[in-house]
Chains A and B, each alone.
Chain A
Amino acid sequence: MSDDSDAALARRAIDGDDAAAAALVRRYQRSVFGVCLRMLGRREDAEDVAQEAFLRLFKHLHRWDASRPLRPWLMTITVNRCRTALSRRARKQPLLPGDLDPTDTSVPLTDAALAEELQRAVDGLRDDHRAAFVLFHYEEMSLQEVGEALERPDGTIKTWLHRARKQLSETLSRRGIQPDQRRSDSPRSLTREPIRA
């Protein structure tokens, strides 16, 4: 029975085993690509940066301490690559309330529309706030793991999370996204309300 632990795959990848390298990529590509997509907001950018993150991982893999988990280190590399990509490209223009179609109100939103709305709000966050929010709420890392990945103390991460949530909530409210008060039987229902001046 072959050893498919991270350490064993890493050793084989360092020795030039393509299958082991591919297995490592497939094990973590959902996390890496997901973080890249949530951080960058563009699918094509996320694919490029995710590949760069894995290439950087393999480049420095011989320095990895196999007694420690691989995922936090990989997340650190991924977030750093995302920050570099964000600094390279011009930031996306923040969405304006005028983008909302005023006729499309009080309509229950689909999951895809909700995801798109939240992603557009996440795009407007500051880079470090966005990284903390994505790692905690998307990657479901603990506060300590997020702190290690972003090289910040837990208190700083809690502050960043608080500010990110507050800004996201305000952005969603400005976009008219709020719980549907008329449908008390469906607690997960959200609607778009007309924007008040």
Chain B
Amino acid sequence: MPNSPPEIEPLPESLRLTLPAWRADLDVPDLAPGVVRRLRSTPTVEPPPRNWAHVGWATLAAGLLIASSFVPNAFRQGVDQDAESAIVEAQPISAPSGTNLQPLDGSETTVVRVETPPEDTDENIREPRAFPADRLTLRENLLPKDLFSADRLAGAWAALPDPNRTWRDEVRDGVQPFRDGAQTVATLFAEALPPARRPY
């Protein structure tokens, strides 16, 4: 293979005299054993293109496997519920604060948890928590009863622009389109909102 085609300029003298020694100065190690060892120890060879039929079958099989593991469990859950709860109760449990661990019927291994009523200290005395139903009733009491009465709705409807009129009619008559109706609806919603919550 020609080293210097005609279009390549001649080499400088120092470079031309140095190149042969530079090219010859090479002691090549045998890389094959190391490459083959690393080639086989690491999966560097890419697998061939996937066979999508195999992928589909594998996905279907995995789905069936997962489903088969869920369905019997769901079926057994109701049957074995009592047995599982008994097993859970029979297992040793840790002792959180406020509980006593006592042997059950003289058994040395079975331990049951006995709830200890909290002592009547000031920290444990709290007001009874209100249920959501009570809060709903409270909110309804706060709203004025005649807020959405028929009279108010009729008044708001009367203030709305005539649906048969277009915005061109409004402009021609010198009325801001929809302004009155929008103000009425905004007033209705502002009154419907509950009063601001007082800070505790």
Contact = CB atoms under 8 A, between A and B. Distances in A.
B32 A25 contact: yes
Contact of B32 (A22, A59, A61, A179): A22
A29 B30 contact: yes
B28 A29 contact: yes
Residue among B11, B21, B38, B44 facing the most chain A CB atoms (10 A cut-off): B21
A29 B32 contact: yes
Consensus secondary structure, chain A interface: helix
B44 A59 contact: yes
A189 B14 CA distance: 10
A47 B14 contact: no
Interface string B56-93: 00000000000000000000000000000000000000
Nearest to A162: B9
A161 B8 contact: yes
B17 interface: yes
A23 B18 CA distance: 33
Interface residues of A, number: 57
Given A16-B45, A29-B32, A59-B46, 8 more contacts: A55-B38, A59-B44, A114-B18, A137-B23, A140-B3, A165-B12, A168-B15, A172-B14
- 10 closest A-B pairs by beta carbon, nearest first, are A115-B25, A169-B12, A111-B21, A22-B32, A114-B21, A25-B32, A118-B22, A118-B18, A115-B21, A172-B14
28 contacts: A21-B32, A21-B35, A22-B32, A22-B35, A25-B31, A26-B31, A29-B28, A29-B30, A38-B22, A47-B29, A54-B35, A55-B42, A58-B35, A62-B46, A111-B21, A111-B24, A114-B21, A115-B21, A118-B15, A137-B23, A140-B3, A142-B5, A143-B8, A158-B8, A172-B15, A179-B17, A188-B20, A190-B18
